[in-house]
Amino acid sequence: MSSLTSNVCATIRKHIPLIKFRSQLKNAIGKSVDTNVHASTSTFVVKSSVPREAAVELSAINPKFRRKMMTEEEVAFYERIFL
């Protein structure tokens, strides 16, 4: 019985997620929030780690997957929370 248990434990491996998140992204967001709080009170700007050339144009995205525009209420809500 112990050989069966040790055999099962040997075949089970720790799960490693396939998606890898960049640790720099968290640091960039934190730094941009601090600098933008003093610079501007009406906008919230997050610097992206993706260069503009590599970003997908809005016209190239299928309308089904496009992000809807934010209303003034939503903008005010986020400004109140993050600023």
Per-residue pLDDT, 63: 84
> How many whole angstroms separate alpha carbon 66 and alpha carbon 61?
6
Average pLDDT score over residue span 63-70: 85
Residue at 8 is within a domain: no
Residue at 2 is within a domain: no
pLDDT bracket for residue 36 (50, 70, 90):
very low
Total domain count, the chain: 1
Per-residue pLDDT, 64: 87
Residue at 5 is within a domain: no
* Range of the structural domain that residue 43 is part of: 17-82
Per-residue pLDDT, 73: 94
Per-residue pLDDT, 72: 94
pTM over 0.85: no
Residue at 11 is within a domain: no
> How many whole angstroms separate alpha carbon 28 and alpha carbon 35?
11
Average pLDDT score over residue span 21-34: 59
